[in-house]
Amino acid sequence: MPRNLPHMLCLILALLLVTAMPPVAQAQVIKSGQPSCPGVALTFDLCPVRKGTGYDQALIDYLIEQKIPATFFMSGKWMARHEQQVQTLLQVPFFEIGTHGEVHAHLPLHSTEEQKQEILGPVRLLKTKYSHNATLFRPPYGEFNDDTVNVARTLGLQFILWNVVSGDPDQTITASQIEDRLRRSVRKGSVIVMHANGKGKHTREVVQDLHEQLLPERNLAPMTISDLLTCNGKVAP
């Protein structure tokens, strides 16, 4: 047996272990909570819009009236046009506020520095104008590359995606179709992506169905992202 055979075998084993490991960037991206957590995160993107008010007042009113925890991801461009609404959402104790890029750019098409400025824009605005420290970030369109993840990590932001797509901005589908999709997908630890910028004409109706039917039927509770991520398998009564 060659003298260096044990060394070669160890080297081959090490290479196999390295290639079997998931990419570092993927390990930093959060798509859901623990499957043992009986909670679901209702998350709403606030992207800039060209038409309409850019704010689903009926949805927000329902969430507040029913005291439903929710997490909102605001873009800088949206915040610049909705100062009063930003103040309102920040004042609700069971709401959580994250960021969604400055102008809703396709981040992977930009350099690392450009991505940094796009991500930092709304973080700075929330801090300087509203004295709010944003710690959650969702990339526009759900698009990212390793640079996006590394920039967010360097800035101390949690990188939040989702594992359940409501499809609420699609104007061609009905509330029942969205609800059917959620019934097939929602389970313990789910993160649902929806919109609160008025693009989802059925979003309020869908949220009401979630709150009154689907979640109670499955013994699930709505949570903010932070509560979902720290859930230990139990929900306080």
Query: pLDDT (tens digit, 9 = 90+) per residue, 27-37?
Result: 489 999 999 99
On the CB side of 171, CA atoms within 13 Å amount to: 2
CA end-to-end span of the chain: 67
**CA dist 206 to 107, 157, 180, 212, 232, Å?**
30, 30, 10, 10, 28
**Helix axis angle, 83-91 to 57-65, nearest 10°:** 20
pTM to 2 decimal places: 0.87
Supply the pLDDT for residue 8.
41
Domains delineated in the chain: 23-229 (3.20.20.370)
Query: pLDDT (tens digit, 9 = 90+) per residue, 162-203?
Result: 999 999 999 999 999 999 999 999 999 999 999 999 999 999
82: its two tokens: 């909705």
The answer to whether 207 and 68 are in contact (CB under 8 A) is yes
The answer, yes or no, to whether residue 10 has pLDDT greater than 80, is no
Which of 116, 100, 105, 201 shows the shortest CA–CA distance to 151?
116
The answer to whether 7 and 15 are in contact (CB under 8 A) is no
Residue 201: Cβ within 10 Å count: 15
Average pLDDT over residues 70-80: 98
